[in-house]
């Protein structure tokens, strides 16, 4: 196995609401290796974006506990100056909405150029321009010289996302965090962007954390997958295992609720109830238990832990052993 690039241990990110702290990310531990795509899957409110922001140090007013070891250095409580040396240089981030992620009043060239300038102030302006044009070419933008002087609103959504990617990889970061990078794009553009990211990963030998709710994107991109529910990782495995042998009730439910192309017009699985909001997260016991009420309470652990059920495959709470869909026969 290759060397661990990022190692997160028992990360807890809490936000203050009124007088209390609520954990959006709770007890998350994971590793990302070089040249590996780790997908983090979950629905809105599961804490996947909060996790990404914690790794990038982008939370302003959050309490962060635990360790974020990046190349052996703990970033959990790094100072703003330390962060600005790492962000954009060793870690890059790709955002969801290319329409709003670029400064509307700055030409493309300056936006990408800024990322280079911030971490290498000795480069001359001319050299910087050449580097930016190089980057634009690398992410597959036609006529890079012309695009250099254009404003974001003059480009299509797909092209803008390429610019966002070019900005993120300007300094050859070792870790890329992509927060729903293709959600706002059309399918044909999505497949192009995913191909581009795969190729960049190979070229730069980078680790990628891919945050998404789209299981199709996961199946296309990921090497390993972590499934999040209510702030916690409930299952983590390599991508083949996760799709072939999903164990946690949430993972299984999620996979069954996607319209799959094999049996058209059959019923989709519906997960009962709703995702609890941050303030109403259950603090004790299995957080998913409320959504599978037909499973006996005794099946859940009192304090659910991740169990390694086969090498590299972890599942939280023992309820997976007793889980069945309501329409299935109990053996």
Residue 260 beta carbon to another protein: minimum distance, rounded to whole angstroms: 6
How far apart, in whole angstroms, are the C-alpha atoms of residue 38 and residue 11?
17
Q: Which lies closer to another protein via its Cβ, residue 58 or residue 307?
A: 58
Rounded least distance, CB 80 to another protein, Å: 7
Residues 6+ apart with CB under 8 A from 131: 113, 116, 123, 170
Determine the Cα–Cα distance for residues 177 and 30; give it in Å rounded to an integer.
Answer: 14
Dist CA 222 CA 144 (whole Å) = 30
Choice between 23 and 86, CB closer to another protein: 86
Cα 229 from Cα 251, distance rounded (Å): 9
| CB of 153 or CB of 284, closer to another protein | 153
88 vs 304, beta carbon nearer another protein: 88
Beginning with the edge strand found earlier in the chain, give each strand of the sheet holding 62-70 in spatial order: 20-33, 4-17, 62-70, 73-74
Cα 38 to chain centroid, rounded: 8
How far does CA 296 lie from the centroid of its chain? 33
Nearest distance from C-beta of residue 85 to another protein, angstroms: 7
| Nearest by Cα to 323 from 264, 268, 258, 271 | 271
Closest contact distance (angstroms) between CB of 185 and another protein is: 9
**Of residues 14 and 241, the one with the C-beta less far from another protein:** 241
Give me the least distance between CB of 297 and another protein, in Å please: 22
Least Å from the CB of residue 331 to another protein: 26
Compare residues 9 and 123 and give the one whose CB is closer to another protein.
123
* CA 154 from centroid of its chain's CA atoms: 29
């Amino acid at each position: 196995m290759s060397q661990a690039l990022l190692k997160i241990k028992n990360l807890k990110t809490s936000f203050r609401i009124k007088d209390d702290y609520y954990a959006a990310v709770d007890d998350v531990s994971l590793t990302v290796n070089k040249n590996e795509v780790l997908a983090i899957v979950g629905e809105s409110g599961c804490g996947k974006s909060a996790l990404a922001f914690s790794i990038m140090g982008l939370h302003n007013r959050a309490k962060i506990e635990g360790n974020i070891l990046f190349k052996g250095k703990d970033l959990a409580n790094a100072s703003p100056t330390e962060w600005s040396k790492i962000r954009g240089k060793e870690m890059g981030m790709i955002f969801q909405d290319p329409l709003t992620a670029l400064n509307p009043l700055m030409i493309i060239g300056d936006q990408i150029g800024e990322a280079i300038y911030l971490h290498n102030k000795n480069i001359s302006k001319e050299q910087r321009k050449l580097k930016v044009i190089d980057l634009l070419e690398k992410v597959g933008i036609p006529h890079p010289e012309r695009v250099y002087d254009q404003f974001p609103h003059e480009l299509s959504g797909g092209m803008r996302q390429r610019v966002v990617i070019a900005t993120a990889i300007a300094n050859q970061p070792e870790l890329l965090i992509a927060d729903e990078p293709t959600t706002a794009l059309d399918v044909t553009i999505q497949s192009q962007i995913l191909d581009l990211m795969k190729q960049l990963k190979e070229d730069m030998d980078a680790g990628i954390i891919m945050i998404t709710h789209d299981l199709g994107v996961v199946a296309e991109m990921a090497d390993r997958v972590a499934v999040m529910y209510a702030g916690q990782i409930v299952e983590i495995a390599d991508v083949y295992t996760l799709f072939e042998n999903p164990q946690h009730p949430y993972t299984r439910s999620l996979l069954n609720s996607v319209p799959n192309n094999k049996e058209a017009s059959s019923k989709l699985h519906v997960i009962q109830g709703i995702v609890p909001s941050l303030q109403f997260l259950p603090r004790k016991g299995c957080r998913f238990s409320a959504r599978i009420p037909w499973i006996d309470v005794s099946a859940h652990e009192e304090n659910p832990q991740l169990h390694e059920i086969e090498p590299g495959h972890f599942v939280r709470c023992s309820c997976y052993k007793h889980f069945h869909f309501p329409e299935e026969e109990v053996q």
